[in-house]
Amino acid sequence: MKKPVLLLLIAATQAFAAAPRELAQAYAAEASRQAPGFKASPQRGAEFYAKRFAVSDKMPACTACHTDSPARPGQHAVTGKAIKPLAPRAEAARFSDPAKVEKWFRRNCTEVLGRECSAAEKADFIAFVSEGL
């Protein structure tokens, strides 16, 4: 009886690890339709994460709420609400639900960038926060 439970846990862990990669691949495929040859870049993702857009005084960059390290928990700059780490290696459920990922990209990109993020920006961002997967 213990063996099936262990197999289910292993499968669930592998599914969580695959989800960010699959999402990044889907965004990269969309971006490559717009710009042939596009490849997601963790380096561009890191630059995007740290970039100050200054659309909002309280949330000028991702780091305003999520700290300098996506592996650490953050705190919403306006509400003070605790935010779990962005990095899937620190928060296994991160990037596991495509609908939630889209919801939060739409909300956060609009607040920080003043517009929705492009598919390329999303692919780069996920590549950055998922390094080591």
Give the three-state DSSP class for 120. helix
| pLDDT reading at 5 higher than 90 | no
| pLDDT reading at 129 higher than 70 | yes
Per-residue model confidence as pLDDT tens digits over 41-85: 999 999 999 999 989 889 999 999 999 999 999 999 999 999 999
| pLDDT reading at 125 higher than 60 | yes
Continuous H helices in 35-133: 42-50, 63-66, 98-113, 119-129
All domains of the chain in start order, with CATH: 2-129 (1.10.760.10)
- Looking at residue 18, what is its pLDDT? 58
